[in-house]
Amino acid sequence: MSEFKVGVLSCSGEECLGGTISRLATRKVLEELKFIDTVTLCLPLYLAGGEEERNFAKVFPTISVDGCDKLCAKRSTEKYSGKINGFIDVSKIIGDENALNTKIVRNKDLTDEHHQMVDEVVSEIVKTISNISPDAYSGKTFHGCGCGNE
């Protein structure tokens, strides 16, 4: 089992395309890029009492992927878990006019062009993960858990 697990939190925003792209790119990193051991975390669980999500982000390095410059995922993670080891603003990659499109949000409406945007965000996520300082992985001991990650 890899010691280098990384949490990825996407905003999955429902109001505009940026949110959908953040979600799809995060899923793609999880499903297709096996050399990075990523774990997706549910943002709304932070407030709804998700012990597992909160603990994970406190102990493992975590990055956020946001659809627009409101950076909801980044800010909430900082608020509830204290730190973030990198963040991505999808609107900076695909441009505001795309990110803020409120008409095309559903998976079935996406075109090849949109899937290309997803891939661009995927490479940005990979880059961000590889830039995480090795220090972020240390001190990841759990209190009294004897976890199997060693």
Q: What is residue 20's three-state secondary structure?
A: helix
Phi then psi dihedrals of residue 68, to 5 deg: -145, 180
Per residue in 73-110, is it b (16+ CB within 10 Å) or e — as a string?
bbebbeebbeebbbbbbbbebbeeebbebeeebeeeeb
Name which position in 17, 29, 46, 128 contacts another protein (CB under 8 A): 46
Give the range of 37-45, 81-89, 90-98, 124-132 binding another protein by CB under 8 A.
37-45
The alpha-carbon radius of gyration of the chain (Å, integer) is 15
Give the range of 33-41, 83-91, 120-128, 130-138 binding another protein by CB under 8 A.
33-41
The interface with another protein within residues 89-148 (CB under 8 A) comprises: 103, 105-107, 142, 144-148
Q: Is 11 in the site for another protein (CB under 8 A)?
A: yes
CB atoms within 10 A of CB 118: 20
Binding-site ranges for another protein (CB under 8 A): 1, 5, 7, 10-15, 19, 23-24, 26-28, 31, 39-53, 55-56, 66, 70, 72-73, 75-76, 79, 103, 105-107, 142, 144-149
